[in-house]
Chains A and B, each alone.
Chain A
Amino acid sequence: MTESMIHIEQMTKVFYTDEIETHALSGIHLTINRGEYVAMSGPSGCGKSTLLSIIGLLDTPTGGQYTLNGREVANLNFADRSRIRNQEIGFIFQSFNLIGDLTVAENVELPLTYRAGMPSAERKRRVQESLERVNMAHRMRHYPAQLSGGQQQRVAVARALAGSPSILLADEPTGNLDSKNGEAVMKLLQELHDEGATICMVTHDPRFAAHAERQIHLFDGKVVAEGELSGLLAEVEG
């Protein structure tokens, strides 16, 4: 069962600010299979966050092809991209990005309310389930500000899970957490993976990257092999 969930070919991304052209991605090839747990790492500025944004349909590539769950998505319109984002992708951000004016339960329910035609009872059931899954069901009626960072990230994970996405995308999920809470979140991701979730995580911390089945290294906008990376680093130093 090695069905490809994400398939990227020859992807480029160029940022233009006035006369300056910045090549954030220069020809990425990448495949992530269903059920895989992939960690993307590399030094700051290597393009890993940009790549994750594009995988999550938050940003559009300048060139290349991108197939998500068997569907070409690089050139979809805004509305379709919103719909796919809603149905296929669960986000976990470094700074949690919970909405302060909504309760824990409402935050988790949010992606479901953007899904046309889901009955209220079904939404409530899913919210309950995902909050129980991350052990936060008892804080349902609280507001994010009343929770610690680790708890907020668990709620964010529950929000990502609620929509039963095809893939979980995590951008430095432990970046704003101390090591103990960081470990807890990593353990949660590990468990989700064991239960069959497809996960793609960006981190620059090698200890956390080691949790994944497969590690992808990015350097100056390209995917490089592990050995190659140390060579390159050595070259830079030299």
Chain B
Amino acid sequence: MGRIIQDVRYALRQLRKAPGFTLTAILTLALGIGANAAIFTLVHAVLLRNLPVVDPKALVRVGDTDDCCDIEGTPDHNDYSLFSYDLYLHLKANAPEFEQLAAVQAGLGNGSLTTRISKPGALSKALSGEYVSGNFFQTLGLQPLIGRLIQPSDDVHGAPMVAVMSYRTWQREYAQDPSVVGSTFALNTHSVTIIGVTPSGFYGDRMTDVPPDFYLPINLEPVMGQSSILHQQNLNWVYVIGRIKPGTQLGPLQARMSGNLRQFLSTLDLYKKADQQKNLTESHLVLSPGGAGIENMQQSYASGLKLLMAISALVLLIACANIANLVLVRGMARRAETSVRMALGAQRRRVIQQMLTESVVLSCLGGIAGLVVAYMGTRTLLALAFPNSPNLPITPDPSPVVMGFAFGLSLLTGLVFGVAPAWVTSHSEPAEALGGSNRSTRDHSSLLQRSLVVLQAALSLVLLVGAGLLSKSLNKLEHQHFGLQTKNRVIIHISPENAGYKVGQLQALYDQIEQRFHALPGVERVALSLYTPMESGSWGEAVAIQGRPEAGPNVSVGSMFVRVGPEFFDIVGQHVLRGRGITAQDTAASPPIAVVNQAFVKKFFTNGEDPLRKHFGTFGVKSSNDFEIVGVVNDAKYDNTRRPSRAMHFRPLLQPTPTFDPGDGRSLYAGAIMLQTKGQIEGLESQARKILASIDPNLPVVNFTTFDDQIAGQFGQERLIARLTLIFGVLALALASIGLYGVTAYTVAHRTSEIGIRMALGAARGSVVGMVLREAMLQAGLGLAIGIPVALLCARFVKSRLYGVESHDLSILTFAIFTLAVSACVAGWIPARRAASTDPMNALRTE
């Protein structure tokens, strides 16, 4: 025991006496291990966490895609993950294998609920609510924190109106006031009793940055909104998740449920058409694990996180190679000392033990530093990964499992690479290293070291190329031509539907909003719209052009659709190319018109027909006389940043669709006010709140943002991955340079006498520098030779993430090679200079 303490003390002193080595090793370990622990924490938190409910493994989701939020028509590949409420009831009634089968609203959104506590002077707030079936909480097996949770008896038409509040909301908005339970809230102006609060760890049925503030029985849906979708059988809008009975075979169940699905679908008008029979027979559903709830976020982040894991693993590999090199160099440099110890009678076990102690002490220090890096790194990483998402249910604290993993890894690294030189040294005859016999033994370890450096150079080239590609792609994405004007544009999201407005009241409301905002000093233009470009989410419809036969099932007739106010095109920067735009005269009473974009013209008027004055509809051939095209505007990107603009038509805010369309009512409620201002206006947000509150206290600001920020928000994941890859690339480069420096410096020290001979024979300083540098560059060059094809190969894995950049982009490859070459030059030049200052006399004396 005392001996171990003595060894540890000695090891600490040794490390203190070689601060360069110690610092480099600890830093290398800290960065390598810390980066991995941080990434792994993120992966653990996002991908591997189950819902905090009873026995999450028994939960099964009916469906497997991240389709959202309310979709008409057939899903991709006829794979159903989203269902209509009636379809859910049908599936539930025919699946006795489920103890419970619950439905939850698919589309959540900030501001889906306008709430006001029934107290004098209380202001209304835009919060989020989720409709759930009455057995939702029973399915998950949750117990309330206080009060009670929703029961099936609450989810019945005509039952007293109740809602459950989430713990976070109770804490954040109502300071955990117990009197909230039992009190009455105005939810979308309807009186609803809060019956309970969810347990504190529960964040809903899925991971999202807008977890529900309220859970409402799904049968309240027709009451809460102005146009109900509850029993629209052609609209799919709920996810289904259930708790399976023990011992159930999922395979046969999935087949049977798919059969039930087809049975229900065959009764729908859509599938009664002759050309839909193929789609009907192919329609199916997939049962997937439901322990983590609805895994939309997991699905959207999985490939990105896996890429980051692969990259951080590469960094760890480089770090390990570095540690191996450092420890090897040190072990070899201390051969003479070890030999003296053995000459004095040290047992081999003792020598190895002492060297190992040093490795372990070093690893522990590195591991501790790694934990610090991991702890800080995770916070930074979360901030980088999910900016502006304070409500995301992910904590930045690395779990003990991750911490243990990281620490164990650093210990293992130290042990593995500490053993090698200890073993080599202790197995040589002491006389050899003491110079007792004048015969030089070939240095086998140097080949290993050089290979490690070559490996490092190759790997860091791969990372540099990856970082370059992703950064360039992000840059292209952000600076692409959107066809939009974003400077001095502000977007205010609202929800008149939640405020209880009837369709007939909307014209007056919109007029008032436009007038009041126009009156604000500095505001140049004001327009309402159903939604705004690049806010994730859009409306689409099937288009039928007048005078053409009905399109077959495989002909694409989709067009995006948005309702906009008169000044909208000027605000977002779309120009009217032909005809006219939308004006204030286009009211509910005037003839229905539409403006289309260039992509629409290209898609539907292929042979140079003039689109102006043509008519089309969105509800089949019978509706094709509905709207007259009065103008064409240039293309702009509305939903997808990577694909070219899609066909799109614009309609006035309040013109109803002449042919009856059950979804039409909802589209009349404007979701956003867009402002164009003269420069930045101080306190615009609070002024907007005041204006809206004065128009109607039930009209809160759901969200306030600039157009620029809204677009930037589309690149969150790309930015995260590009930045992290860049950080890791630079890290890898630094580690590889340190490695090259270390090996070159060691080689130079080892070759002191050789260099001395060369200088004694007349080698000039320049030629010594050249010789050493040449060797360093040879290793870097070999690394490049291996790294270039590997990098090109690996670049194919990120190909799907690239925008506007080829995976074999030459400028990036050149830049990466150049960067690596320059770093190698610097790393080699320093020891080369030292070699050139060798005093030949001293060098020769070391014989």
Contact = CB atoms under 8 A, between A and B. Distances in A.
A–B interface present (Cβ within 8 A): yes
Interface of A: 15, 17, 24, 49-50, 52-53, 56, 58-60, 78-79, 82-87, 89, 91, 93, 97, 99-101, 110-111, 113-115, 120, 159, 163
Contacts of B350: 114
B337 interface: yes
B847 to A, nearest CB: 11
A99 B340 contact: yes
Contacts of B436: 49-50, 52-53, 58-59
Contacts of B765: none
Given A78-B348, A97-B336, 14 more contacts: A15-B437, A17-B439, A49-B437, A50-B437, A58-B430, A58-B436, A59-B429, A59-B437, A79-B348, A82-B348, A101-B17, A110-B344, A111-B345, A159-B344
Contact of B345 (A15, A24, A82, A120): A82
Nearest to A22: B439
A50 B439 CA distance: 12
B424 interface: no
B345 A53 contact: no
30 contacts: A15-B437, A15-B439, A53-B437, A56-B343, A58-B431, A58-B434, A59-B430, A59-B431, A59-B436, A78-B348, A79-B347, A82-B342, A82-B345, A83-B345, A85-B342, A85-B343, A87-B345, A89-B345, A91-B343, A93-B434, A97-B340, A99-B341, A100-B337, A101-B337, A110-B341, A111-B345, A114-B341, A114-B346, A114-B347, A114-B350
Contacts of A17: 439
A64 B795 CA distance: 66
A78 B342 CA distance: 10
Given A85-B345, A111-B345, A114-B345, A101 B340 contact: no
A120 B6 CA distance: 12
B245 interface: no
Interface in B661-703: none
A82 B346 contact: yes
Contacts of A97: 336, 340, 343, 434
Contacts of A83: 345, 347
Contact of A101 (B13, B336, B345, B431): B13
Contacts of B430: 58-59
B399 interface: no
Given A50-B437, A53-B436, A59-B437, A86 B344 contact: yes
B838 to A, nearest CB: 20
Q: Chain B contact residues: over half helix, strand or loop, or mixed?
A: helix
Contacts of B515: none
B14 interface: yes
Nearest to A169: B343
Nearest to A83: B345
A99 B343 CA distance: 12
Contacts of B341: 99, 110, 114
Minimum-distance CB pairs A-B, first 3: A86-B345, A59-B431, A58-B431
B652 to A, nearest CB: 86
Contacts of A15: 437, 439
A83 B348 CA distance: 10
A130 B344 CA distance: 16
A41 B429 CA distance: 24
A78 B347 CA distance: 8
A205 B251 CA distance: 94
A79 to B, nearest CB: 6
Contacts of B434: 58, 93, 97
A120 B2 CA distance: 10
Interface in B457-491: none
Quick one: which of B13, B336, B434 has the most chain A CB within 10 A?
B434
Contacts of A58: 343, 429-431, 434, 436
B12 to A, nearest CB: 12
B437 A82 contact: no
Contacts of B337: 99-101
A60 B434 CA distance: 15
Quick one: which of B341, B345, B347, B437 has the most chain A CB within 10 A?
B345
Interface in B408-467: 429-431, 434, 436-437, 439
Nearest to B345: A86
B343 A114 contact: no
Contacts of B6: 113
Given A53-B436, A58-B436, A99-B337, A82 B13 contact: no
A56 B431 CA distance: 10
A163 B430 CA distance: 19
A13 B14 CA distance: 38
Contacts of A91: 343-344
B344 A101 contact: no
Contact of A86 (B14, B346, B431): B346
Contacts of B349: 79
A110 to B, nearest CB: 6
Nearest to B340: A97
A15 to B, nearest CB: 6
Nearest to A99: B337
A40 to B, nearest CB: 14
Nearest to B440: A17
Contacts of B429: 58-60
A53 B430 CA distance: 9
Nearest to A159: B344
B344 A114 contact: yes
A91 B437 CA distance: 16
Nearest to A13: B437
Interface string B742-753: 000000000000
A15 B336 CA distance: 21
A184 B222 CA distance: 109
Contact of A85 (B17, B336, B344, B437): B344
Contacts of B345: 82-87, 89, 111, 114-115, 163
A46 to B, nearest CB: 13
A163 B342 CA distance: 14
Interface string B327-341: 000000000110011
A212 to B, nearest CB: 21
A120 B340 CA distance: 22
Contacts of A93: 434
Contact of B14 (A24, A84, A101, A114): A101
A56 B343 CA distance: 8
A113 B2 CA distance: 11
Contacts of B344: 85-86, 91, 110-111, 114, 159
Interface in B310-363: 336-337, 340-350
B450 to A, nearest CB: 23
A91 B336 CA distance: 15
A60 B429 CA distance: 9
A53 B348 contact: no
Contacts of A79: 347-349
Nearest to A110: B344
Contacts of B342: 82, 85
A223 B434 CA distance: 24
Contacts of A24: 437
Contacts of B347: 79, 82-83, 114
Nearest to B427: A78
A59 B435 CA distance: 12
A163 B343 CA distance: 13
Contacts of B17: 101
A85 B337 CA distance: 16
A90 to B, nearest CB: 9
Nearest to B432: A59
A53 B438 CA distance: 12
A154 B341 CA distance: 18
Contacts of A56: 343
A168 B745 CA distance: 39
A36 B347 CA distance: 29
A74 to B, nearest CB: 14
A79 B436 CA distance: 20
Quick one: which of B340, B342, B344, B350 has the most chain A CB within 10 A?
B344
